[in-house]
Amino acid sequence: MMQQTPPIPEIIQAIPLQSYLILSTALFVIGIIGVLTRRNAIVIFMSIELMLNAANLLLIAFSSYKSDASGQVFVFFIMAVAAAEVAVGLAIIVMIYRNTRTIDVGFLNKLKW
Amino acid sequence: MSPTLSLFYFLSFLTVLSALMVVFARSPIHSVLYLILTFFCLSGHYILLNAQFLAAVNIIVYAGAIMVLFLFVIMFLNMKKEDEESKTNLTKVAAVIVAGTLGVILVGAFRKSQVGTYNPYAHDSQVGMVESLGHMLFREYLLPFELISILFLVAMTGAIMLGKREVGERHF
């Protein structure tokens, strides 16, 4: 009976789930810092990708620890949506550059007030 | 310390370090390269968590497709010169304080919360394999899977429409 079920991965036995929570919180906070401090639209976009990946890591960690495949299917969908988002977002950035010759988001203040 | 444990700490350290370098690198090209490194580290984490399928998909989709798109656009826009960031130091300090506060609050909440752990008797380590994910994806999540293809079609059309050059507009 025992040799039929594969063993539990060592990492799950050794590392508490809290460590993954803290790791993905760190990634998410770094992403927020990037969005708030940088001016380059592409770097802001990359910081958003960083935050998306923090969420992915957390979903996969919970899914592996609770052995529930739904979390990993959601990560698959998040990746697909992120790919679509990047395609449209980069097209918008290219268009902004073409019209204003810059991708500094500080110059895009027509809708500010 | 067992090899797996030290591998986890090494990967976590590398992940956070390269994520920091994404934010603080001066040139966007370096940011992209550090982001690719971050994605590879995250794939390592996924393999450690026995989610092999998503580790492969992460490398193929993120490090392969999305990052190539980023690099392509950066090289298109010719942003070699390091244009000085126009944000003041006050804004930067405020941003770091806001993000740090959020991080401290979240970590504090996690320390108090009961997230549980694995069930040693009912644990299925094969959950991240292609077989079980395929069963899940094509049975319970068939409709979202088909909707994703429509989303891709819409996104592709939108990207082409946005990127198309109008008559009389300059190329770049």
Nearest to B12 among A23, A53, A90 (CB): A23
For residue B171, pLDDT over 80 is answered with no
Give the residue, B66 or B122, on which the prediction is more confident. B66
Nearest to B57 among A17, A38, A76 (CB): A76
Percent of chain A exceeding pLDDT 70 equals 95
Q: Which domain holds residue B139?
A: 130-164
pLDDT tens for B117-149 read: 788 777 887 888 898 899 989 999 999 999 999
| B10 & B68 share domain | yes
* Cα(B18)–Cα(A31) distance, integer angstroms: 12
Residue B99 placed within a domain: no
* Residue A103 in tokens: 């991708």
- Chain B residues touching A80 at Cβ < 8 A: 61, 148, 151-152
Residue B160 placed within a domain: yes
| Distance set, CA B2 to CA A14, A110, B6, B118 (Å) | 9, 57, 6, 20
- Chain A residues touching B126 at Cβ < 8 A: 6
Collect all residues with Cβ–Cβ distance below 8 Å to B88 and sequence separation of at least 6: none
Instruction: Quote the ipTM score.
Output: 0.90
Nearest to B55 by CA among B11, B116, B2: B11
Residue B170 placed within a domain: no
| B74 & B134 share domain | no
| B2 & B75 share domain | yes
| B5 & B72 share domain | yes
pLDDT of residue B127: 84
- Chain B residues touching A106 at Cβ < 8 A: 86-87
| B69 & B142 share domain | no
CATH number at residue B46: 1.20.120.1200
Looking at CATH, the fold of the domain delimited by A16-105 is given as Helix Hairpins (1.10.287)
pLDDT of residue B87: 67
| B4 & B76 share domain | yes
Q: Which of these three, B62, B80, B98, is where a domain ends?
A: B80
| B135 & B73 share domain | no
For chain B, the domain total comes to 2
